[in-house]
Amino acid sequence: MAIPQDLVDGTIGRINGSNTRVGTLYNSNCNLYNIYVSYEGAVDLRTEDSYGGDATIDGVIESIVKELNPLAWFAPNDNDGIISVVMDKSINDAADIQKRIRDLSPVGPNETDISGTEVYPATSMTFGDNS
């Protein structure tokens, strides 16, 4: 068995780094996706959430979250129709997620059409500070 030179002098050297680089998304234990909820344009999810909107139970966001069971998710407070999700590593097909969401349509008490929803792998993520 060969002995690495670092061990000969009594120290353990690094063979490989952790491969970290700014501007690069690392997701070795999960997959991240951006969901664009739409039908002929973005669906304003603020009117479809279970807090402030009319669709208090089984609205668009709740129905999608129940269908996908993400590890984490976030929908910004705007009218872009975007939901970002963190999925288990075994969920690795954006087309499958897209089909599952489209098959829910129409959804919620407002029978919102979400058949134009598109799903893309995320290329970045941002955490905000609420202070």
- The reported pLDDT for the residue numbered 9 is 57
Give residue-wise pLDDT tens across range 42-85.
988 888 775 555 545 788 999 999 999 999 999 988 899 999 99
Q: What is the CA radius of gyration of the chain?
A: 21
Give residue-wise pLDDT tens across range 88-113.
999 889 999 999 999 999 998 888 99
Answer whether residue 36 shows pLDDT above 80. Answer: yes
- Write out the two tokens for 126: 């941002």
**Mean per-residue pLDDT, 6-35:** 73
* Angle at alpha carbon of residue 93, lines to 90 and 99, rounded to 5°: 120
CA-closest candidate to residue 87, choices 65, 63, 59: 65
The H-assigned helical ranges of 1-131 are 5-8, 60-68, 94-102
Q: Which amino acid is at 50?
A: S
CA-closest candidate to residue 66, choices 98, 101, 117, 37: 101
- The reported pLDDT for the residue numbered 115 is 96
Decide: 63 and 104 in contact? Cβ < 8 Å: yes
Answer whether residue 16 shows pLDDT above 50. Answer: yes
CATH 3.90.830 is right for the domain spanning 27-121: no
Helix (H, G, I), strand (E, B) or coil at 11: coil
- The reported pLDDT for the residue numbered 87 is 95
The domain limits of the chain are: 27-121
What's the predicted TM-score (pTM) here?
A: 0.78
